[in-house]
Amino acid sequence: MKKLQKTQLQPFFAALAANASLYLPVDNEVGKAEFKKWQDGVQMSTALNTLRSAKDFFFPQTENLMEFKMEGKRIDVIDTREECEDFVLFGVRACDAASFAILDRVYLVDPVDTYYKNRREHGTVVTLACGRPAETCFCGTFGIDATDPAGDVTAWELADGYALRANTEKGEALLASVAALLTDTDTAEVEAEQARVRAILARLPLSGLTTEGLGEGMTKEFFARPEWAALSEACLGCGTCTFVCPTCQCYDIRDFDTGHGIQRFRCWDSCMYSDFTKMAHGNPRTSQLERFRQRFMHKLVYFPDNNDGIFGCVGCGRCLARCPISMNIVKVMKALKKGGAEQ
């Protein structure tokens, strides 16, 4: 385990940025944290988490897939893919780090999504253990330890500096590249910090929430539940929850006519949208109830069904904070459990 003095933070960032683009949470014009490229003088945000998740770096909201160039009656197909440059993501929280593993299960299995893979290979993730979790946090529900996040390198904020631990070869290489700024340290300080935070986590309002009764094999049990009607009633059908979600992975592919050609791009889709998975024959989910149910069934049942029981939620709490009408996965989980208990 290595240690970085707080006074060395900016030189540390500078050293990382010398080798690759460095992104870290920075407060924006309205005082909310978002990942931004580090430049000399940029200060890291002290916020618990970014408004948007870190998934954007591997699965951006929009990306061009290919182009068609048209001249008169001639059409050329152009491959627009470019090799991604190396980059470092600093300050990713445990929840978001866990989301990458979920996205990998979608995009790195056959057929591999080469656009995603390219970025995953070139990105190095430095996570930062949580020090001051919020009431909306419930990563523990999904077995995620906010005090010991995954990532290529794990960092803990201590009173006078940061403890750093490489978890992967990429992480080793990253720490090696800045070795001059680091000193060796033992795990005692980190363990003390973890104990402090774990005590707080245990007091969080959602700390008792478990996945018991949810997950694999529950499709028949949950699909026709009457609770969906009341739960989905207030849903506006906006995409906020999906767009701030670190694990939502659905996209739409569209063509944009530029006037001199076609750009084929993909962009995030939301199962809350009325045209979600609309096909030539029409739309398989015509009501908001069905679309709402799809979102939560996917995270709580279908994804675990197809992925060895792993849930499609990491408990980051963004949807809890952002939903315009405050409907969210926690309320859904509780309602389904309660309904199950009553049956």
In three-state secondary structure terms, 183 is strand
Residue 62 binds another protein, judged by CB under 8 A: yes
| Straight-line distance from the first to the last Cα atom of the chain, in angstroms, rounded to the nearest whole number | 51
Shortest separation between residue 331's beta carbon and another protein, angstroms: 7
Distance CA 182, CA 199 (A): 29
Residue 192 binds another protein, judged by CB under 8 A: no
Compare residues 177 and 273 and give the one whose CB is closer to another protein: 273
Residue 254 binds another protein, judged by CB under 8 A: yes
What residues pair up with 6 in beta bridges, in sequence order?
none
Amino acid sitting at position 61: Q
Q: Walk across the sheet containing 153-157 and list its strands.
A: 33-37, 21-27, 87-92, 123-128, 153-157, 161-166, 2-5, 183-184
* Contact positions with another protein (CB under 8 A) in 199-228: 200, 203-206
Residue 273 binds another protein, judged by CB under 8 A: yes
Residue 244 binds another protein, judged by CB under 8 A: yes
Compare residues 15 and 335 and give the one whose CB is closer to another protein: 335
Distance CA 83, CA 119 (A): 8
Compare residues 12 and 58 and give the one whose CB is closer to another protein: 58
Residue 274 binds another protein, judged by CB under 8 A: yes
Burial category of 78 from C-beta neighbours within 10 Å (exposed 0-12, middle 13-18, buried 19 and up): middle
Cβ–Cβ < 8 Å for 44, 24 = yes
Select the residue interacting with another protein from 51, 106, 310, 335 (CB under 8 A).
51
Select the residue interacting with another protein from 85, 176, 258, 338 (CB under 8 A).
258
Q: What is the contact surface with another protein in residues (CB under 8 A)?
A: 28-32, 34, 48, 51-52, 61-62, 70, 72-73, 132-136, 200, 203-206, 230, 233-234, 236-240, 242-244, 252, 254, 256-260, 263, 265, 267-270, 273-275, 286-287, 290, 320, 322, 324-328, 330-331, 334
